[in-house]
Structure 1
Amino acid sequence: MTDVKLAIAGAQPDQPGPWTALGALGIVFGDLATSPLYTLQTVVQATGGHFTAQSALGILSLIVWTLIVTISVKYCLFVMRADNHGEGGILALMSLVGANTLRGRAAGLTFMGLLGAALLYGDGIITPAISVLSALEGVNVVTDAFKPLVMPLAVVILLLLFGVQRFGTARIGRAFGPIMLLWCVVIALLGLTGVIRQPQVLLAIDPRHAIDFLGHSGTSGFLVLGGAFLCITGGEALYADMGHFGKGPIRLSWYAIVLPALLLSYAGQTALLMERGTIQGNPFFELAPSWAIYPLVVLATAATIIASQAIITGSFSMTRQAMQLGWLPGLNIRQTSDRMYGQIYVPVVNWLMMAATLGVVIGFGSSDRLAGAYGTAVSTTMLLTTCLLFTAMRKVWRWSLPASLVVAGIFLVVDISYFSANLLKIADGGWLPLTFGAIVFGIMAIWRTGIDAVHASLGRLSVPPRRFLADLDSGRISRVPGTAIFLTKATDQIPPIMIDHVRHMGALHHNVIALTVLFEETPRVPDEERCAVELIATDFWHVTIRFGFIEIPDVAAALKRVKGLGGSIDLDKAVYFAMRDLVVSEPRASILSRWALPLFAFLYRNAVRAVDRFSLPPANVVEVARQIEI
């Protein structure tokens, strides 16, 4: 078990400043910190609202040890150690273990990573809906007069939330940390009042209460397991947002603030269950005095907006990663802050998520009906993360097989238990995020298959360098003043766009650059490794520019830093030539099935143009249409 000791030793937090930890509290822990709003409410529904002291202790023990094993140990100590050059998230983990293709030996690992990422989109649609609804429903504890207004008000809040995304979150982000700190203090104090009245809830720290409850509760215990899982539904955010804050601040916020607050909140709610024996409402709001309900609803709504904001921006970041790794078409990405690199906005993702989230809110209408849809996607992603983590233990950390099996096996037991319990929710709404995830996964697979087919077709159109260069050196190709930059995916052949240009124009510019932009399977590329230059012929260079999978490519700026080009080149006046391809089916059987080809062609046709994706000067770009058969 030496490997395990080394992992824990290497997983110790850095020495983060308190302000960084406060920022991590606001961005990373919104979902986890607001889970007390609906977790025990879901458990109440699963049990019919009837509790004995022993069953209440068993449920609390189950929640306590789920938080400890899954978040405190699995994610904070082990998963966050599997960083890809400081970046986290299931796609970064997939790249770390060397999986980025659906062919060959890595296909299974790639399938896990892509499916996990796709399912997180489904979770991103459910999270804002259930969080905002459960916060607003707190007023029902005092009066039913506002009950008909809860759903419309949730729709208005979510409309505003998605509507302000285009302005970025740099300004409002400064308030996230203090608000979440206030939220954690409030829920901890509320929980403490319940613990003081029923101190025996502290006995739940003994895991035997959880084991005894599951052993004697039969089918109802399995239903409770599905509800208890909601206490960790924001766990993936710790890993996904690691690149923004680092491991130390995230761990400090969790161990010092969020975990104690959650334990006290769940303990206080459990004390209420033990006191009353029967409860029908939401134990979170039932725990508060009546005079505090309205301020608590306001604070809870603010906290759930932060939780929703975190999952939305997380979806933007994951989209960028999938795009750069070649699993999604190029989309328009806007940088919304000149100081915070992670502050980006992806319009098409924002509006699609808004439409789906509002549809879920209107369709389900309340948080208790929506609870059945929540957790299925996340439990699947957590299971897939553990499988990829096992591979990282063996391939990246070089652990022995026994050590890897022991550690991953413990996590798998927990993950499989929750995954199985959440399968019971499929008929009650769990199908919804799974369907969203399956659609996104299908789009990813179709896009990658189509892109591979396009590259193969372009390879057949290319001309070997020797023949083209012979024509260039012999003077059969005239040269005219100016600089032309031809964007190409080819790295070892003359670009088809250059061949077409010479054939139609009968000449080539005096200075010629064949430019290839590559996206690496690492988050960032150091400046000294950004560009590579090869002199192909007189005044003819091939330049390769590399970007990491989380970087926004600025090709024009990168070109100006390239060394080794001719001193007479004026890049500000250079003309960029790019192809605008139109995909059609070959006369013979297509690589893609008949139903998939139209979808790929639609995605390919509507992918962001090179001028936008690569930050090229629009006035200097010439796009040439071309038909490609696949």
Structure 2
Amino acid sequence: MSLGGEETHHGSLKPHDSLFRDAEKVSHSTHRGSQVSWMQTLSLAFQSIGIIYGDIGTSPLYVYSSTFPDGIKNNDDLLGVLSLILYTLVLVPMFKYVFIVLYANDNGDGGTFALYSLISRYSKIRMIPDQSAEDAAVSNYHIEAPNSQLARAQWVKQKLESSNAAKIVLFTLTILGTSMVIGDGSLTPAISVLSAVSGIREKAPSLTQSQVVLISVAVLFVLFSVQRFGTDKVGYTFAPVISVWFMMIAGIGMYNLVVHDIGVLRAFNPMYIVQYFARKGKDGWVSLGGIVLCVTGTEGMFADLGHFNIRAVQISFNGILFPSVALCYIGQAAYLRKFPENVADTFYKSIPASQAMLSGAFAILSKAQSLGCMPRVQVIHTSNKYEGQVYIPEVNLVMGLASIIVTLAFKTTNDIGNAYGICVVTTFSITTHLMTVVILLIWKKHVIFIMLFYVVFGSVEVIYLSSILSKFTQGGYLPLAFALVVMSLMASWHYVQVKRYWYELDHIVPTDEMTALLENNDVRRIPGVGLLYTELVQGIPPIFPRLINKIP
């Protein structure tokens, strides 16, 4: 006789409870893993073009004008700036994100909260415990031979778990990074749409800046209105348009390179960067605030990972985005070598606005809500095939209003670019710090790899951040003010959730008290199943006796 199970041919019992067959029917989304077919991967890669790369792909609209706001004084400066742009694109989006950071996902989810969640799986850093001891032992169980990397990881784990300051720092970095991504999601559409619509003035010079702003607001309204259709539909809608855009900018870049000055290819020699800073001094350092705009939207690749998968993002970035954008910047430099007086409007065309940071903000905030750091809002899953594709109406409304207000308030891309740069580089830096913890604690890499990662990317980001902070009073204050508001909300909500958890833990109802309560009340069983939500891993929450007293 098999007790609720069925006997295998080896004579052992195979577990088979009443929920087993239903569990077998659950469709597990494998789009994030290596089991995905090439057709699915290519389909996701095509979608990602319309979702992730709208802002990094439209940055050629304003990078050179932001870098040379006072015009080009020396033609050789173009070689130094182009070299900086190319190596920044290679170093940050390609090496750091595409080949390293994307692999630090939390079950397919990306973004700063995913890194925090991943770290909390391997060490008890959360203020609300999310696992019992046996859960942690089972979920992370694997045999490792003793070595220096393992000893270092255990030391880091012990230090993190024993230090309240370290826990607070990690949490603060996480919510700061999330706040910057939300700010990024409001600024990205504003600067992209305003830059694109400004191109109309070339064909209609009588158009005033106020009219350009009003047209931009109308476009932003439409952009945020279509978010409710979900990543799947929006991606397939935008993907063909963005793909055509990439083919256009690549073709125009190649044309400008051949026709105007093929000699700009010398910029692949990094010595031009050294010569640029030697010649420009402090002005060269200040210009980094404009150059860094070439990597806007990079964090979107990681934040949007839950909508796609690693392989799809790698294919679309290396196969489409990078060669197209690199050719565009090279072509613009070749054109400006001959016509430096046109730097203010090097390349204005009307294009659709970015989608990356909007989808990324939805994904990150969905994760933040699950970790008890955001009020519970409606999360709509917009695809029946890919579980990571979500839409949050309340967040979309707030970000849409913020984007429209920024556009109306600033009116031009210069000040928005200053604010945008701070969001971008701060998020980069926070990701680098959290990634270093992941590499130490979870990946357990050799100390040389850890030092290279932290020193190379950390130093580059600090240099860029110091430059963009010099424009704090020229719009740079906006993302910090916005971040403080969002951080206050998240920190307050999390504080209350922690208090509630410990209250429930201190007031767990003992079994004998529960038995007496049931005997003293006229409790009758009714059909159905009732669910009581609690953060407790074990035990009866204090809300249950109140329920018994109120509802017989």
State the partner residue of 1:310: 356
Deviation at 1:380, TM superposition (A): 0.6
CA distance in 2, matches of 1:325, 1:122: 20
Deviation at 1:243?
A: 2.8
CA contact (8 A) 1:82 1:93 kept: yes
- Counterpart-to-counterpart distance in 1, 2:531 and 2:89: 54
Over 3 Å counting, the alpha-carbon distance change for 1:244 and 1:334 in structure 2 is closer
Aligned equivalent of 1:126, options 177, 187, 196 = 187
Match of 1:114 in 2: 175
- Aligned partners of 2:194, 2:409: CA distance in 1, in Å? 13
Q: Would the alpha carbon gap of residues 66 and 447 (structure 1) be closer, same or farther in structure 2, given more than 3 Å must change? A: same
Q: Give 1:222 deviation, angstroms.
A: 1.5
Q: Which residue of 1 aligns with 2:292?
A: 229
What is the CA RMSD across the aligned residues, in angstroms? 2.3
Aligned to 2:116, what secondary structure does the other structure show? Answer: helix
Report whether the alignment pairs 1:187 with 2:187: no
* CA distance in structure 1 between the aligned counterparts of 2:46 and 2:250, rounded to whole angstroms: 17
Q: Which among 49, 72, 87 is matched to residue 65 of structure 1?
A: 87
**SS of the counterpart of 2:526?**
strand
**Structure 1 residue aligned with 2:140:** none
1:90 equivalenced with 2:98 (yes/no):
no
Is the CA contact (8 Å cut-off) linking 1:61 and 1:210 kept in structure 2? yes
* 1:597 corresponding residue in structure 2: none
Structure 1 equivalent of residue 221 of structure 2: 159
- Tell me the amino acid that sits aligned with residue 197 of structure 2: L
**Alpha carbons of 1:492 and 1:261: their partners in 2 closer, same or farther (altered >3 Å)?**
closer
The Cα offsets for residues 186-214 of structure 1, whole Å up to 9 and x where unpaired, read as 00111112111200110000111012212
User: 1:354: how far off?
Assistant: 1.6
Give the total of aligned pairs: 475
Partner of 1:478: 522
Kindly state the Cα deviation for residue 155 of structure 1 after the two structures are TM-superposed. 0.7
Listed as ranges, the matches of 1:233-382 within 5 Å are 233-285=296-348, 296-297=349-350, 300=351, 302=352, 304=353, 307=354, 309-382=355-428
Higher RCO, Cα 8 Å, sep 6+: 2
Q: Determine if contact 2:201/2:207 at 8 Å carries over to the other structure.
A: yes
1:491 Cα deviation after fit: 4.5
Q: Deviations over 1:55-112 (max 9, x none)?
A: 1100100101000111111111111121222322111112222244494543322222
Cα deviation code 1:105-157 (max 9, x no counterpart): 43322222221111111111111100000001112234421234211101111
Q: 1:44 aligns with which of 45, 57, 68?
A: 68
Matched residue, 1:421: 467
Deviation of the 1:245 alpha carbon = 2.1
Contact kept? 1:195, 1:271, Cα under 8 Å: yes
- Asked if the contact 1:331/1:346 (under 8 Å) is kept, the reply is yes
**TM-score of the superposed pair, with normalisation by structure 2:** 0.81
* Match of residue 136, structure 1, among 197, 202, 218: 197
C-alpha change, 1:488 and 1:187, in structure 2 (3 Å) is closer
Query: What code does the residue aligned with 1:28 have?
Result: I
Q: Tell me the equivalent position of 2:430.
A: 384
Q: Is the 8 A contact 2:419 2:478 kept in 1?
A: yes
Instruction: Give, in angstroms, the shift of residue 433 of structure 1.
Output: 1.2
The answer (yes or no) to whether the contact 1:129–1:360 under 8 Å persists in 2 is yes
8 A Cα contact 2:306 2:363, kept in partner: no
Counterpart position of 1:216: 279
Query: 19-28 or 199-208, which moves further after superposition?
Result: 19-28
The separation in 2 between residues aligned to 1:90 and 1:486, in whole angstroms, is 31
**Structure 2: tracts of 5 or more residues without a match:** 1-33, 129-163
Q: Which moved more, 1:83-92 or 1:160-169?
A: 160-169
| Contact 1:486 1:498 survives alignment (8 Å) | no
The structure where strand makes up a greater share of residues is: 1
User: Which whole-Å CA distance do the structure 2 matches of 1:310 and 1:187 have between them?
Assistant: 19
Q: 8 Å contact 1:335–1:344 — kept in the other structure? A: yes
Q: Report if aligned partners of 2:48, 2:235 keep a CA contact under 8 Å in 1.
A: no
Q: After the TM superposition, which residues 503-522 of structure 1 pair with which residues of structure 2 at under 5 Å, given as runs?
A: 503-504=549-550, 507=552
CA distance in 2, matches of 1:171, 1:471: 53
Secondary structure at 2:68 match in 1: helix
Alpha-carbon distance in 2 for matches of 1:410, 1:127 = 27
- 1:50–1:279: 8 Å Cα contact kept in structure 2? no
- What's the TM-score once normalised by structure 1's chain length? 0.71
8 Å contact from structure 1 (residues 165, 345) kept in 2 = yes
Asked whether the 8 Å contact 1:376–1:425 carries over to 2, the reply is no
Q: What code does the residue aligned with 1:50 have?
A: I
Please report how far the alpha carbon of residue 461 of structure 1 lies from its aligned counterpart in structure 2 after TM superposition: 4.8
Residue of structure 2 in register with 1:19 after alignment: 43
Identity of paired residues, percent? 31
Taking the TM superposition and a 5 Å limit, the aligned residue runs for 1:448-527 are: 448-472=494-518, 475-483=519-527, 485-489=530-534, 490-504=536-550, 507=552
